[in-house]
Structure 1
Amino acid sequence: MALYAAAAAVLAGVESRQGSIKGLVYASRFQNVKQLYALVCETQRYSAVLDAVIASAGLLRAEKKLRPHLAKVLVYELLLGRGFRGGAGRWKPLLNRHQARLKAELARLKVHRGVSRNEDLLEVGCRPGLASQVPRFVRVNTLKTCSDNVIDYFKRQGFSYQGRASSLEDLRALKGKCFLLDPLLSELLVFPAQTDLHDHPLYLAGHLILQDKASCLPALLLDPPPGSHVIDACAAPGNKTSHLAALLKNQGKIFAFDLDAKRLASMATLLARTGVSCCQLAEEDFLAVSPSDQRYRQVQYILLDPSCSGSGMVTRQLEEPGAGAPSKERLQALAGFQQRALCHALTFPSLQRLVYSTCSLCQEENEDVVRDALQQSAGTFRLAPVLPSWPHRGLSTFPGAEHCLRASPETTLTGGFFIAVLERAEVPSSVSQAETSAPEHIPSAAPKRKKRRCKAAAAPSAPPRT
């Protein structure tokens, strides 16, 4: 019941303009924020349909104690969702009494509008477009398990493993209970778009991270070797931080900063669940962090994923159906902060490699920010050429911009994303030879999957206790 009560409270807050869905979900203190977020977004997307069905069935007239927002969430689960997966307490028998009438009204609405699918009832601005075709990407948390054991676990659950994908067409063709290994990332599994794993025991135990492929690229391309000192400048909600820790094998240090206390608290929970032990969280503005502080003298790697417009997020169309481009004023404010953060990051004396990323499609937040930062660095840093086979490159707004990466549902079957990898053009005198002798590896393709078994970090053969 807690899930549905929380979803109803978030819906009420959204309608009364108390905040965005994402902000209210994080403020709710509900433990599984992703599950709550998904339920609220889907209920909101079908809001007009649910209102029509509830009114036609006379549900609220018959059940005086059932509040409108809770009714909407419960009817969504009954008619359009996965049933009462979280338990509906005393409301379940009540909804079951009206189930036949509610289903009949939904069917009558389809006939009236001349459609056969639930999605066809949606207004054009609310219908899933290309974003709905983005597969469900699942990163295996190598701090707890490995791809081989996770694959075997899913196979025992009746899923059909199709091997490593060779093209985007393989990903587009995924259906039912089939899944693939991503062609680029050896720890990334790919399921059909509609696959919901928020209740899966491996996810709840921290063995799996539900993370879009494009969002996995920043940590992969930063590529810090075990033992490194790394800064994650704008870290919450923590998926990229947990990926960095996996690459470090929990050996080294991650200094993670974020100003939002609630998001940072949620991040701490995520890191604990995923077994991250090398991270130091700080509720602090990265711009206020001194590069001369002795705690950061060994930091050679920085991941900067600052606040942005979110115009590339595939979930944004669910939160804001038909939402247009961000205003010019908002873009200017965001780009100003992003540029200050990037220029600040480049002043850390031992820095060797930095990844700048956003989930934005806007040139002002992407190529323009990188261009201006490179100009201010006066040749100290340069763009590193990465992933030459990646099909979607940076906009040709300045020489070298083709080294940047872009992602989109249309070209890469991922969320919209931008990534630039900056590397130092010269070794600073303050860094010793020993500190810079570790070779850097720029991944260009995923390694072949080894035929081996994991040792201590095996995936559970039975659902773990949480």
Structure 2
Amino acid sequence: MTKYAIRETALELLTRIGEQGGFSHVLLDREITKQNLSRQDGGLLTEIVYGTLQRRDLIDYYIQPYIAKQKKIKPWVRWLLYMSVYQMIFLERVPDHAIIHEAVEISKKRGHKGISSFMNGVLRNVQRKGTQDIEKIEDPIERIAIETSHPRWLVNRWVEQYGLETTKDMCAANNHHLPMSVRVQTLRIDFQEAVNRLEEDGFKVEKSVLSPQGLVITEGAVLKHPLFLEGYLTIQDQSSMLVAEMMDLSEGMTVLDACSAPGGKTTHIAEKMADKGQVIAYDLHEKKAKLVNNKAEQLQLTSITAGQADSRNLKDMHEAESFDRILLDAPCSGLGVLRGKPDIKYHKKEEDIFALRKIQDELFEPIAPLLKSGGKMVYSTCTVDRHENEEAVKNFLSNHPGFSVDQTFFNELPPSLEGALGLSEFGLQLFPQEWDTDGFFLTRLVKQ
């Protein structure tokens, strides 16, 4: 490996993500595997890429006084500046002079002397003179947008929906590392035994407050642990675990998971039913449906059948009133998962929210008749936008008088959620700042 390999790889990835719209989590995982990076190198690469993406607009604001006279800056040069300033300001392990030296050497290698001089000049100015003060921005919405690197339209939208303080806290939380959480496959291993084994191997873990099967890994690389490799644990965010917990499941039920990939919720449903019953899962893409089957196999669950289908056509594939429970984990803008996929906030536009809501409405229509009388349907999304959440539910209920919000849902929520910011008559909105999870919405409807 060359001396600057990690930084050069980070620059390559940032340029691809920032300019061509690549998905950060996909490209990072692929690169770490391809280069077979050690835990330390993989960690540093992830830190630089995610950190730079998360704080792109703030860094741009910081360096504006030093680049304002430069007419045109090549994309890779701009990303090299961003990632270098990110390391200088937000990381403590590497001294400034080493960061500047590496950036100048990479500039020489990729460009010409003019670029390396420019790079050196800007970074030395940041080191010597510091950065411009964020408090100079008087408009509170503009200040949140730049300080937390969220597009102004999004901040504006959230302020209208949730107020200034909640929005500020949510945007700040989106720039913090999301702790990894795992679900224990309790049909195969006792929960406490899994905890003991991890702790014996030097891991630090905390029990989830949202699921009795959930563990938050606060220290240790769980993806390399035998419990994970042998299918006793599966990666799942705590907010996502709450879905199966709130489906009011029993052994022997027939359950539909209409939008199932990659299979975290599907497999959890099967576990909650002790793998007794039938879980029929669909995904729009065949490749993704295979992922669900693979996950079921890995966790040794036999009650799951996953296949490819557009769930808008399910009424042609199943009789009316075929299912005791339905999960509609709808396609959404993903604005609740910015901690793990920071590039989403730069690639999404406001009109995407309305386009996705149209799909959500189109999914509700053919799926609702498939639920048995007295059956229950959970609707969930990994977004924090009211238009895709509360308003989608409200719209469905106004057109389907046979359905209502299941009031027992609120009594069955974990005690830790008492007084949650996002409780309303239409369900529960989880915010990332509250329980250190993704932003997530869920509700449970019942058919009379």
Q: TM > 0.5 between the two? A: yes
Give a deviation string over 1:183-208, Cα, whole Å, max 9, x none. 4422112333x754233332222211
1:119 counterpart residue number? none
What displacement does 1:211 show?
Answer: 1.6
Give a deviation string over 1:270-329, Cα, whole Å, max 9, x none. 3322222221111110011126735x86421111111101111143563356x49x5442
Residues 125 and 261 (structure 1), Cα distance of their counterparts in 2 relative to 1, 3 Å cut: farther
2:301 counterpart residue number? 276
Residues 158 and 367 (structure 1), Cα distance of their counterparts in 2 relative to 1, 3 Å cut: same
Cα distance in 2 for partners of 1:393, 1:129 equals 16
> Which letter does structure 2 place at the counterpart of 1:252?
G
1:357 counterpart residue number? 380
Cα distance in 2 for partners of 1:298, 1:313 equals 33
Match of 2:336 among 288, 296, 312: 312
> Which letter does structure 2 place at the counterpart of 1:181?
K
What displacement does 1:26 show?
Answer: 9.0
Residues 262 and 247 (structure 1), Cα distance of their counterparts in 2 relative to 1, 3 Å cut: same
1:152 counterpart residue number? 196
Match of 2:360 among 326, 335, 338: 338
What displacement does 1:378 show?
Answer: 1.4
Match of 1:386 among 395, 400, 409: 409
Cα distance in 1 for partners of 2:301, 2:14 equals 33
Cα distance in 1 for partners of 2:226, 2:124 equals 38
> Which letter does structure 2 place at the counterpart of 1:366?
N
1:45 aligns with 2:51: yes
Cα distance in 2 for partners of 1:203, 1:364 equals 37
Q: Of Structure 1 and Structure 2, which has the larger fraction of its residues in helix? A: 2
Give a deviation string over 1:63-113, Cα, whole Å, max 9, x none. x7xx99xxxxxxxxxxxxxxxxxxxxxxxxxxxxxxxxxxxxxx9999658
1:188 counterpart residue number? 214
2:438 counterpart residue number? 415
What displacement does 1:358 show?
Answer: 0.6
Asked if the contact 2:422–2:430 (Cα under 8 Å) also holds between the matched residues in 1, the reply is no
Match of 1:233 among 253, 258, 277: 258
Cα distance in 2 for partners of 1:187, 1:310 equals 24
1:129 aligns with 2:172: yes
1:56 counterpart residue number? 101
Residues 152 and 37 (structure 1), Cα distance of their counterparts in 2 relative to 1, 3 Å cut: closer
What displacement does 1:221 show?
Answer: 0.7
Residues 395 and 327 (structure 1), Cα distance of their counterparts in 2 relative to 1, 3 Å cut: farther
Cα distance in 2 for partners of 1:373, 1:22 equals 33
| Structure 2 residue matching 1:386: 3-state secondary structure | helix
What displacement does 1:15 show?
Answer: 4.8
Higher relative contact order (CA 8 A, sep 6+): 1
Residues 338 and 220 (structure 1), Cα distance of their counterparts in 2 relative to 1, 3 Å cut: same
What displacement does 1:411 show?
Answer: 2.6
Cα distance in 2 for partners of 1:157, 1:366 equals 41
**Structure 1 unaligned runs (5+)?**
69-106, 116-122, 160-176, 426-466
1:247-262 equivalences in 2 (<5 Å): 247-262=272-287
Asked if the contact 2:318–2:370 (Cα under 8 Å) also holds between the matched residues in 1, the reply is no
Asked if the contact 2:182–2:233 (Cα under 8 Å) also holds between the matched residues in 1, the reply is yes
What displacement does 1:228 show?
Answer: 1.2
Residues 111 and 26 (structure 1), Cα distance of their counterparts in 2 relative to 1, 3 Å cut: closer
Asked if the contact 1:361–1:416 (Cα under 8 Å) also holds between the matched residues in 2, the reply is yes
Residues 41 and 359 (structure 1), Cα distance of their counterparts in 2 relative to 1, 3 Å cut: farther
> Which letter does structure 2 place at the counterpart of 1:414?
T
Cα distance in 2 for partners of 1:114, 1:188 equals 43
Give a deviation string over 1:254-277, Cα, whole Å, max 9, x none. 111111233333333333222222
Residues 412 and 387 (structure 1), Cα distance of their counterparts in 2 relative to 1, 3 Å cut: farther
1:267 aligns with 2:292: yes
Asked if the contact 1:292–1:349 (Cα under 8 Å) also holds between the matched residues in 2, the reply is no
2:95 counterpart residue number? none
Instruction: Answer with 265-274 or 127-136: which moved more.
Output: 127-136
> Which letter does structure 2 place at the counterpart of 1:153?
R
What displacement does 1:59 show?
Answer: 5.1
Give a deviation string over 1:206-253, Cα, whole Å, max 9, x none. 211222211111111113212211111001111111111111222211
Give a deviation string over 1:148-201, Cα, whole Å, max 9, x none. 111110221234xxxxxxxxxxxxxxxxx3x32234422112333x75423333
> Which letter does structure 2 place at the counterpart of 1:392?
A
> Which letter does structure 2 place at the counterpart of 1:268?
N
Asked if the contact 2:261–2:292 (Cα under 8 Å) also holds between the matched residues in 1, the reply is yes
What displacement does 1:61 show?
Answer: 8.2
What displacement does 1:349 show?
Answer: 4.7
Asked if the contact 1:297–1:349 (Cα under 8 Å) also holds between the matched residues in 2, the reply is yes
Question: What CA RMSD, in Å, does the superposition of the two structures yield over aligned residues?
Answer: 4.1
What displacement does 1:367 show?
Answer: 0.7
> Which letter does structure 2 place at the counterpart of 1:318?
P
Cα distance in 2 for partners of 1:306, 1:25 equals 26
Asked if the contact 1:10–1:40 (Cα under 8 Å) also holds between the matched residues in 2, the reply is no
Cα distance in 2 for partners of 1:26, 1:297 equals 42
What displacement does 1:44 show?
Answer: 4.8
| Structure 1 residue matching 2:369: 3-state secondary structure | coil
> Which letter does structure 1 place at the counterpart of 2:51?
R
Asked if the contact 2:251–2:273 (Cα under 8 Å) also holds between the matched residues in 1, the reply is yes
2:400 counterpart residue number? 377
Cα distance in 1 for partners of 2:371, 2:228 equals 39
Asked if the contact 1:305–1:357 (Cα under 8 Å) also holds between the matched residues in 2, the reply is yes
1:202 aligns with 2:227: yes
Q: Could you tell me the percent identity over the aligned residues? A: 25
Asked if the contact 2:325–2:371 (Cα under 8 Å) also holds between the matched residues in 1, the reply is no
Cα distance in 2 for partners of 1:291, 1:134 equals 40
Cα distance in 2 for partners of 1:110, 1:282 equals 54
Residues 38 and 138 (structure 1), Cα distance of their counterparts in 2 relative to 1, 3 Å cut: farther
Give a deviation string over 1:128-149, Cα, whole Å, max 9, x none. 9324265432211223322111
How many residue pairs end up in the alignment? 347
> Which letter does structure 2 place at the counterpart of 1:43?
V
